[in-house]
Amino acid sequence: MIDWNLALKIFTFGLSAVFGSLAILIGAIYAFGKILKNIEKEGN
């Protein structure tokens, strides 16, 4: 018998992990881009 409960859990957790982690990564890329820019400004 298929454990549909588990299947649904894999689906929801999986898809949210995919979108969530890539969304956080987008935030991180913007953030370190900004930080680098600021550091370079201070350096000048």
Partner 1 sequence: MLDMVMTTGVVHLTVGNLIMWLIAFFFIYLAITKNYEPLLLVPIGFGILIVNLPLTYLMQEGEGLLWKFYHYGLEWEVIPPLIFLGLGALTDFGPMIANPKTLILGAGAQFGVYVAFFGALILGFKIPEACSIGIIGGADGPTTIFTTVHLAPHLLGATAVAAYSYMSLVPIIQPPIMRLLTTEKERKIKMRQLRPVSKKEKILFPLVTVMVICLIVPASAPLMAMFMLGNLFKECGVVKRLSDAASNELMNIVTILLGISVGATMSAEHFLKPEVILVFIMGLIAFAFSTAAGILLAKFMNLFFKEKINPLIGSAGVSAVPMAARVSQVVGSKADPKNYLLMHAMGPNVAGVIGTVVAAGVFIALAG
Contacting residues toward partner 1, per CB under 8 A: 2-4, 6-7, 9-11, 13-15, 17-26, 28-30, 32-33, 36
Shortest reach from residue 20's CB to partner 1, in Å:
7
Among residues 6 and 41, whose Cβ is nearest to partner 1?
Answer: 6
Distance of CA 14 to the CA centre of its chain: 13
CB of 41 vs partner 1, minimal distance in Å: 13
Give the gyration radius of the chain's Cα atoms: 19
Q: What is the DSSP letter of 13?
A: H
How many alpha carbons fall within 13 Å on the CB side of residue 35?
6
